[in-house]
Amino acid sequence: MSETEAYYRDKVAVVTGAASGIGLALAETMLSYGAKRVILVDINEANLTRETGRLNAVYSGQALGIRCDVTREEDVKLMIQQAAEFGDGHIDIFFNNAGSGFYGPFDEQTNVDWEKAFALNFYSAVYCIRAVLPVMRGQGNGHIVNIISGIALFPMPLQTLYSATKAALNGLTLALRYEYWDENIRVTSATPGTTATAIWGDKGAPPGSQSSEQSARTVLTGVAKNERLVLGDETDTKGARICFNPDSAETIDDHLLNVARKRRRGEGLF
């Protein structure tokens, strides 16, 4: 058994946005590593029922699906209560994975658009963290993982909503890491890397994108090591290294200006 597998063995884990993509891969991979129970949380009831049933066919009675709108704090509180009951009072690991990509020109976005983006990509994590903390404090330990995006480290033009919400989530995560360190509650930020999921919409994922399973394994390995910031692939690693480096400012300006011009012409994302 690897060190990564040992970290998840006999643990109770909750994953939001777990009915598809990276969230589903995180849940399934943890079960394959020997997790005691995994709770899948999603708003898509049909997908949730199907995937929970599929997992229970392999890992009998170890998966629970909970439909929840994570943008509603009262729904989140009820979900945490149900998850803890399924975990015999425990929630060892919590993945805030629910979220969406947002794309478009800044001057076409309304306050409603901004509120919707922050509700899903930021406040949902605030609600989940606030609700799960008493459980983790009661058991004396825990690990909260917030799935951000490489865009938090490398903000992109025509993705202001996505850039701002994920940067805010990363800031929250890294500040909380030290606030709860002495209570034996770990907090980690993780980027999934460029991954082929539905977040890309009709445009499709860029060539060379990794699978959800590859992303999940990378994230789970970094989380098991209690890394501060888990970087999902080399692109995210490069972005983290250079984007805010003063010595790279001219290069970054040239690159992102070219991206903005191409996107306005409809020539592609990168």
Active site residues: 162
Dmax (CA) of the chain: 55
| Strands 12-16 and 185-190, sheet pairing | unpaired
Instruction: Return contacts of 75-80, CB within 8 angstroms, 24+ apart.
Output: 76/124, 76/127, 76/128, 76/131, 77/127, 77/131, 79/41, 79/131, 80/14, 80/128, 80/131, 80/132, 80/135
Q: For tokens 């149900």, what's the residue?
A: 82
182 DSSP assignment: G
CA–CA gap between residue 134 and residue 201 (Å, rounded): 37
What CA–CA distance (Å, rounded) separates 13 from 10? Answer: 10
Of the candidates 94, 115, 113, the residue with the CA atom closest to the CA atom of residue 105: 113
